[in-house]
Amino acid sequence: MIVAGGSYLEICEIPRWRRLFGSGGRAAAAVGQLSPGSSLHTYAFAGWARDVESSMHACGVTATVMPIAEEISFGYFHALSPATLRPGVPTRHPALSVDGRVVLRFGFVEGDAVVSAERAVHDPQGDDVVPFRANGSRAEALAVVLNEGEAEGATGEEGPAAGEAVLALHAADVVVVKRGCSGATVHRPGRDPVAVPAYRSARVFKIGSGDVFSAAFAHHWGERGLDAAAAADLASRAVHHFVDTRSLPLPAAADLADQALAPVGGEPGRVYLAAPFFHIAQRWLVEEARDRLHALGASVFSPLHDVGTGGGAVALATADLAGLDGCQAVLALLDGADPGSIFEVGHARARGIPVVVLAERLDEHHLTMLAGTGCEVVDDFASALYRVVWASLR
């Protein structure tokens, strides 16, 4: 398989992550053992070119690098943060030319790739409204893989209609719309969409998970010739492996299929955000958790935002607990052991409402009652958010 995609420096503060990967490098590393003889066509800062080549060689991949003058990086505060691109507007370079039987093409921030392939998979990496073939690319069979926000942004449609519109936009044979916590949907002309589940993992490291999905799908659909829905299911299983372990290369199809994974599907429900908000650090965490939950598709009941802080103790407690009773799951931010938040956790568990606890600094003896009453206790922010959204699915 040939991968055409970027090689960028990725920096995340929490959890700590600093890798020279990018979409192209990660996808090639993912399939290097599954697809012997794979190659990567990429741009890279001239000072990184040998590092890219040697890293790919270690994965069994041959790298063809066009050196450029800029160090392009993507920065994240945590694994669900919006990425910060540096430089903000990279210089554009002449397009790469890629010719092969199966090609996976990613969108670039610094260039493009003109593809000639029997089977091509295109991951536009953004709200790209330019059809795959507009730059002279050609493919006998074309699959487009993108997330739901990208599909809606590119077409102006919502829900399943966005996937159908992407099919028409790219004149594609297959479109796979990734739906985050809810899995993915496979669209083909003249056929009903097929839902593919996500698979529950203990931890979720989100950076690069979409690259892994596209790489696995390209291998199983493009190279092995599997049905698109079956290939998307194996890609979803591959993502489970990556977000849980942060390790590459990917397991073989038989190993993925044999794993007893827990599929999750449905639509996110309402999440109650139990947390103190008495100083700036607490307030920042509440705001960030609320924003990221919304981005994952959940609705959120936040006492700070939906009830406020005035009106007296009885009125506040009554309104907060009424809101909690209308939620499908609770996210409790419990570092600091705030009494009000702990009370809300107990109220939820007494009513059988699932609770996910984010506790980065609490000692084990503080967690006895939480774990003993069935709360999921997590020490990672992104993992806690995914697990509470999964708990809320309806």
Q: What is the CATH number of the domain that holds 358?
A: 3.40.50.450
Same domain, 209 and 332: no
Q: Is 131 left (phi over 0), alpha (psi -120 to 50) or beta?
A: beta
Domain co-membership, 258 together with 287: no
- The one-character DSSP state at 367 is G
- In terms of domains, do 41 and 179 share one? yes
Domain stop point among 223, 247, 264: 264
| Residue 310 pLDDT class (50, 70, 90 cuts) | confident
Q: Does residue 94 sit in the same domain as residue 71? A: yes
State residue 363's pLDDT score. Answer: 77
Give the pLDDT mean for 187-216: 96
Residues 158 and 274 in one domain: no
Same domain, 95 and 149: yes
Average pLDDT over residues 270-280: 96
Whether residue 170 has pLDDT greater than 80: yes
Nearest CA among 42, 79, 55, 32 for reference residue 212: 32
Mean pLDDT, residues 271-289 taken together: 96
pLDDT digits (tens, 9 = 90+) for 202-216: 999 999 999 999 999
Domain that holds residue 86: 2-264
148 with 290, same domain: the answer is no
The domain total for the chain is 2
Question: Residue 295's pLDDT is what?
Answer: 95
What is the spatial distance between Cα 219 and Cα 145, in angstroms, rounded to a whole number?
13
d(CA 99, CA 36): 17
Q: What is the band of 54 on the pLDDT scale with cuts at 50, 70, 90? A: very high
- What average pLDDT score do residues 60-67 get? 98
Tens digit of each residue's pLDDT (9 = 90 or more) over 64-120 = 999 999 999 999 999 999 999 999 999 999 999 999 999 999 999 999 999 999 999
Indicate the average pLDDT of the chain: 95
Residue 227: its pLDDT value, please? Answer: 98
What's the average model confidence in pLDDT over 53-63? Answer: 97
Residue-wise DSSP of 115-182? EEEEEEEEE--S---S-GGGGS-EEEEEEEEEEHHHHHHHHS--THHHHHHHHHHHT-SEEEEE-GGG
- Of 264, 279, 301, the one marking the end of a domain is 264
Residue type, 232: A
With a cut of 80, say whether residue 58 has pLDDT above it: yes
User: Taking Cα atoms as reference points, which of 261, 264, 109, 248 lies closest to residue 179?
Assistant: 264
Do 253 and 278 reside in the same domain of the chain? no
Please check the confidence at residue 259 and state whether its pLDDT lies above 80.
yes
Residue 324 confidence class, pLDDT cut points 50, 70, 90:
very high
Mark whether 135 and 94 lie in a shared domain: yes
Identify whether residues 239 and 319 lie together within a single domain. no
The verdict on 160 and 218 lying in the same domain is yes
CATH number at residue 117: 3.40.1190.20
Q: Check whether 329 has a pLDDT greater than 90.
A: yes
Helical H runs in 171-279? 209-217, 228-245, 253-258
Confidence at residue 366, expressed as pLDDT on a 0 to 100 scale: 80
- Residue 20: pLDDT band with limits 50, 70, 90: very high
pLDDT tens-digit readout, 334-371: 987 889 999 999 999 999 999 999 998 887 878 899 99
Could you say which of 264, 286, 317 is where a domain stops? 264
In the predicted model, is pLDDT for residue 155 greater than 90? yes
CA-based radius of gyration for the chain: 22
Same domain, 277 and 170: no
